[in-house]
Structure 1
Amino acid sequence: MSTRDVTTQTFQSDVLEASKPVVVDFWAAWCGPCRMVSPILDQIADEHGDKLEVVKVNVDENPQLAAQYQITSIPALKVFQGGEVVQSIIGAKPKAALEADLAAFIG
């Protein structure tokens, strides 16, 4: 169960109405650090998919979502629970650091 893409049209149902926490990766194809984080997020999704979901939002294709959630630098990870942002993680990090940041949701 790796990551999947979410768009403005599917954000409400896929993220805001999700039954478990959702990590949203705001990224862009031209962003080097985004490409470094992507396989790490795939691993976290595969290993912890029973506890949380990991989805991706391309900021170039969904600028209104990026603006709505005040994304000013990427990669930006936002953890949603119950339709609200409960945690923000900015920048590329190694897997251990990301897992530590997400420990409250995957622990």
Structure 2
Amino acid sequence: MAKFEDIVKSHPIVLVDFHATWCGPCKALAPILKDLKNKMKDQIKIVKIDVDKHQVLSGQLGVRGVPTMILYKDGKQVWRQSGVVPLHSLVQVIGGYL
């Protein structure tokens, strides 16, 4: 995996989804994120990070539960939410940073 800092700086708006394969709510969030990408196209980059495979990074960022989404604008964290978030709410939040 590329350096995390490089990933969040690779696009003006990056949404990072911290998830786990065993997590039911994470599975519910997956199609919402797919719809979000289809709706927002190139305005956003979505990165999925498995907390079990990247425990050190998850710990450094204080990810205590999954799913946790962190939104970065120009490499800086601007929003963070744990749990499943509806599509319209994600579009509204991200739209505020475009």
TM-score bracket for this pair, using the shorter chain length: 0.7 to 0.9
Between the aligned residues of both structures, percent identity stands at 29
Quote the residue 1:13 is aligned against. 6
Q: Tell me, which stretches of 5 or more residues in structure 1 are unaligned?
A: 1-6
Is 2:77 the partner of 1:89?
Answer: no
Which of 52, 55, 67 is equivalent to 2:44?
52
TM-score (norm 2): 0.88
Per-residue CA deviations over 1:36-72 (Å, capped at 9, x if unaligned) read 0011101111221221111100000001110111001
Q: Tell me, which stretches of 5 or more residues in structure 2 are unaligned?
A: none
Aligned residue pairs: how many? 98
Amino acid at match of 2:7: D
CA-CA distance at 1:18 after TM superposition: 1.7
Amino acid at match of 1:12: E
RMSD: 1.6
**C-alpha distance in structure 2 between counterparts of 1:97 and 1:83, whole Å:** 22
| Runs of 4+ displaced beyond 4 Å | none
Is 2:26 the partner of 1:34?
Answer: yes
